Amino acid sequence: MCCGCATLAVAAVLVSAPAHAGRSCEAKKPTPQVVERGMALAAQTSQALDAEHARSGAKVVLIGRAGQDLGKYGLRYSHLGWAYKTPEGPWRVTHKLNDCGTALGHVYRQGLGEFFLDDLWRFEAVVAVPSAAVQAQLWPVLTENARAKALHTPHYSMVSYVWGQKYQQSNQWAIETLAAAMEPTTIRTREQAQAWLRFKGYEPTTLRLGPLTRLGGRVGSANIAFDDHPSDKRYSDRIETVTVDSVLAWMQRTQLAAAPFTVLYQKQ
């Protein structure tokens, strides 16, 4: 589950409409403590990624954050992106975010500071290092605007159906882009990407949402819709969507990535 962002841009470029992923879009000014913790977590994550790069040569990692409390669904993280090491040295994150208050999302490229400069539920990063073969395929995709946005669908729902194409949430964009990167000559559509994910054994998270929760979410939030889910699943309260936790488990199980590790905020 997640919220999303805007057009693909370098870290220094901002858009006027606020955009978020993996947390609520409540309009409130971040406190100095939140800014300090977010920037410290970004710096500590950068150090951990640099150490991993020195150890293994890693230049692309899956990176996730905990922007919302999803414990009631048995989930720890809310949003993921792909972080890659630039030739200049710093790490950048390519990820999709939702324009707050709207049903639209876009793809962004940001620095680690921006990635963690949200009012996070828990100041913790999760990192999974893909295999060398996966990294080699992903790196050029993440650094090229056109390829990074090739399978992007602007219509956004936080709980979009894993095998649907009407909407696309942030984590869904991430794994569909992975699929396209792995098979660039044969995967040109989201349907083809999802077929690859099925073939590779990806299993979504099934959220158990009651009818009042579903109705309340649709009426109260522009970025939540359920009409893309098959009726038999929707009306039996089985909402199948892409989550960070399910992606981490799948990539480790299929050896697309190593076991994830965490980076915890530590006061300097």
88-114 pLDDT tens trace = 999 999 999 998 778 999 999 999 999
211-225 pLDDT tens trace = 545 444 554 578 889
Residue 6 lies in a domain: no
Residue 205 lies in a domain: yes
Q: How far, in Å, CA of 171 to CA of 177, rounded?
A: 10
What are the structure tokens assigned to 77, written together? Answer: 């993280």
| Element housing 50 (H / E) | helix 32-56
Residue 236 lies in a domain: yes
Contact 82, 180 (CB under 8 A): no
Query: Any idea which of 8-22, 55-69, 94-108, 185-199 has the lowest mean pLDDT?
Result: 8-22
Residue 229 lies in a domain: yes
Q: How far, in Å, CA of 185 to CA of 187, rounded?
A: 6
Q: How far, in Å, CA of 70 to CA of 75, rounded?
A: 5
Look at the chain and report how many structural domains it folds into: 1
Q: Give residue 159's pLDDT.
A: 94
DSSP tag of 19:
E
Backbone phi and psi for residue 87, each to the nearest 5 degrees, phi listed first:
-60, -30
> What's the rounded mean pLDDT across residues 11-17?
34
What are the structure tokens assigned to 12, written together? Answer: 């220094």
Residue 142 lies in a domain: yes
Residue 253 lies in a domain: yes
Assess whether pLDDT exceeds 50 at residue 56: yes
Residue 31 lies in a domain: yes
Q: Give residue 27's pLDDT.
A: 56
pLDDT-based confidence at residue 7 (cuts at 50, 70, 90): very low
Query: Any idea which of 190-194, 221-225, 253-257 has the lowest mean pLDDT?
Result: 221-225
To the nearest 10°, report the CA torsion of 92, 93, 99, 103.
Answer: 150
For the chain, percent of residues with pLDDT exceeding 90: 71
Residue 100 lies in domain: 19-264
Q: Give residue 17's pLDDT.
A: 38
Residue 196 lies in a domain: yes
